[in-house]
Amino acid sequence: LEEAMRKLNVNEMLTGLAPQGKNVKDMASHAFWKTQPVPSFDEVAAGKDKIVDGPIKDIDIERVRKEPSEMYPGFRWVTMDLEDEKELEEVYELLTNHYVEDNEAMFRFRYSPSFLNWALKAPGWKKDWHVGVRAEKSEKLVAFISGIPIQLRVRQNTLNCSEVNFLCVHKKLRSKRLAPVLIKEITRRCYVEGVFQAVYTVGSLLPTPVSTCRYFHRALDWEKLNDVGFSPLPNGSTKQRQIIRYKLPNNTSTVGLREMEAKDVDAVLDLLKRYLERMDLAQVFSETDFNHWMFPTEKPKEQVVWSYVVEDPQTHKITDYFSFYNLESTVIGHKKHSVIKAAYLFYYATETAFDKGNKHNSLLKPRLNALVNDALILAKKENFDVFNALTLLDNPLFLEQQRFGAGDGQLHYYLYNYRAAPLGGGVDRNNLP
Ligand code: MYA
């Protein structure tokens, strides 16, 4: 029964609708979102097959307000200067204490200052899109929202977009409708720059996701994950059995696997671009973007991203690529452990995806499994406790075999001021074995 329930939930979650209709407020009860250029639940449900991708409303840049809207008394708008280490530290502090937690409030994301530098100063970043709110008396930073410019392809259309992230309101100021004010302000600052569309991901269900993923977790240090309450001991198993289940070999197995080097950039970018063309929704990477996200040359205090390639020993061609990044979570109020070190699978690409006779993923599936198994081994060597992945790209081809377990969390993908037919997920489902 448990297995059946689990399957039911996964299937429901993959549709983008909340389980059994729970947590679904209708559009009318979304006092803020019903005023915004986003599709309603009903319209998406009714028109699934008829939706034509395109902007929802035209924005007249001349009519966009030049000044921020009024702030609540006692607070004021600020633009954060993330080049200033002190201000970066303030954003870090706010997020470390008030950002996203799991439903049981056991864990909270802990983005390092190095991570924030990486995520918020992406190529073309604008200081104006790092928006804060300070309490006037204490000068304390109490809220934040950010955007970075990206090129996003939705099927055949490439949008000049902002990616909105790190929306955070101090716990003492929650439920006072500050979030809509922040969202309207980042929207205004995007419009002012001539950017009229945005992409964002949120754990909770709002009107209306264009796609939904589920989080999967693969234990690397099961004992620690069990200690902190992240991985319960399954009925009928023992601690020893769990430790053995997640044990990994000491060495990687793919011939030609090595850390990525500067000389690989052209080949990897070419491979990654071709691989991402198979997806309906993907960022479009220039070489500058690629270097920033996947092969940063400036080494930060704390390493954020790891990139590897496979070089064919005979032809010296790059045949595969994978990367993961480092995002810790605070373990709230635990005596022994203060953080979980999590590796998140980032981008990857493999030539086996283009195999012509690949009707049943006959090469792609085993290759991905070998690569991800090596990624797990490398992450373990770097002292990560857990390896996380979402149900995007071709990930469903390896999650089960590599002993990932379905998590509670979902991640909904949203587009602002852009209507798009719902996405089926990264995997070409007709091609699954
Ligand atoms: S997702 C991460 C969000 N952050 C956290 O979860 C951290 C912990 N939580 C908090 O800090 C607060 O609870 C937040 C809400 C700030 C989330 N996205 O002020 P309120 C709606 C969008 O009374 P609070 C990320 O960073 C809610 O449905 N809307 O609520 C991406 C309700 O509206 P409606 C959200 O709990 C962010 C209203 O706000 C979210 O005190 C993308 C309630 O406001 C949410 N995560 O504060 C933002 N949470 O009545 C959108 C609640 O209508 C960007 N709400 O249901 C859109 C694109 C903009 C740019 C466009 C350019 C073209």
pLDDT at 11 over 60: no
187 lines ligand 1 (CB under 6 A): yes
Question: Which of 64-78, 325-339, 349-363 has the weakest average pLDDT?
Answer: 349-363
Q: Is the pLDDT of residue 17 over 60?
A: no
- Is the Cβ atom of 276 under 6 angstroms away from ligand 1? no
Asked whether 213 lines ligand 1 (CB < 6 A), one says: no
CB under 8 Å to 22, separation ≥6 — which residues?
Answer: none
| 8 pLDDT above the threshold of 70 | no
Residue 426 has pLDDT above 50, yes or no: no
Residue 57 makes CB contacts below 8 A (sequence gap 6+) with: 37, 417
**CA-nearest residue, atom 41 of ligand 1:** 174
| C-beta separation of 95 from 142 below 8 A | no
Spacing, Cα 152 to ligand 1 middle (Å)? 22
268 lines ligand 1 (CB under 6 A): no
Please give the pLDDT value at position 3.
47
Q: What is the pLDDT of residue 371?
A: 98
Determine if ligand 1 sits within 6 Å of the CB of residue 27: no
CB-ligand 1 contact for 420 (6 Å cutoff) = no
Using most ligand atoms within 8 A of CB, pick from 40, 129, 169, 416 the residue to mutate for ligand 1.
Answer: 169
Find the range with the poorest average confidence among 12-21, 110-119, 389-398: 12-21
308, 272 Cβ separation under 8 angstroms: no
Distance 206 CA to ligand 1 centre (A): 9
Residue 16's pLDDT band (boundaries 50, 70, 90)? Answer: very low
Cα of 23 vs centre of ligand 1, distance in Å, is 15
**How far, in Å, CA of 292 to CA of 287, rounded?**
9
Q: How far is the centre of ligand 1, averaged over its atoms, from the C-alpha of 178 (Å)?
A: 9
Name which residue sits closest to atom 20 of ligand 1, judged by CA: 177
Spatial neighbors of 85 by CB under 8 A, at least 6 apart, are: 113
Residue 5 has pLDDT above 70, yes or no: no
Is residue 197 within 6 Å of ligand 1 at its C-beta? yes
In the chain, % of residues over pLDDT 90: 86
Q: Is the pLDDT of residue 239 over 60?
A: yes
Q: Does 111 sit in the ligand 1 pocket, CB within 6 Å?
A: no
* Band of residue 425 on the pLDDT scale cut at 50, 70, 90: low
Q: Which atom of ligand 1 is nearest to the CA of 206?
A: 28
206 lines ligand 1 (CB under 6 A): yes
Categorise residue 302: left if φ over 0, alpha if ψ from -120 to 50, beta otherwise. beta
Alpha-carbon distance of 343 to 358, in angstroms, equals 30
Kindly state the average pLDDT of the residues 404-414: 95
pLDDT above 70 (res 40): yes
pLDDT greater at residue 297 or residue 87: 87
Percent of the residues in the chain that have a pLDDT greater than 70, as a whole number: 91
Q: What pLDDT score was predicted for residue 358?
A: 65
Q: Is 68 exposed, middle or buried (0-12, 13-18, 19+ CB in 10 A)?
A: middle
Look over the chain and give the mean of its residue pLDDT values, rounded to a whole number: 92
33 lines ligand 1 (CB under 6 A): yes
CB 326 within 8 Å of CB 304:
yes
Asked if 161 and 149 count as a contact pair (C-beta separation under 8 A), the reply is yes
- Does residue 73 register a pLDDT over 70? yes
pLDDT digits (tens, 9 = 90+) for 148-205: 999 999 999 999 999 999 999 999 999 999 999 999 999 999 999 999 999 999 999 9
pLDDT on residue 24: 61
Q: Which atom of ligand 1 is nearest to the CA of 101?
A: 8
Q: What is the mean pLDDT of residues 377-397?
A: 98
Which residue bears the tokens 């052209």? 266
Q: What is the rounded CA–CA span in Å between residue 275 and residue 277?
A: 5
Mean pLDDT over 206-218 rounds to 97
**What are the structure tokens assigned to 53, written together?**
């991708």
The more confident residue out of 428 and 40 is 40
d(CA 167, ligand 1 centre) in Å? 7
Mean pLDDT of 39-52: 88
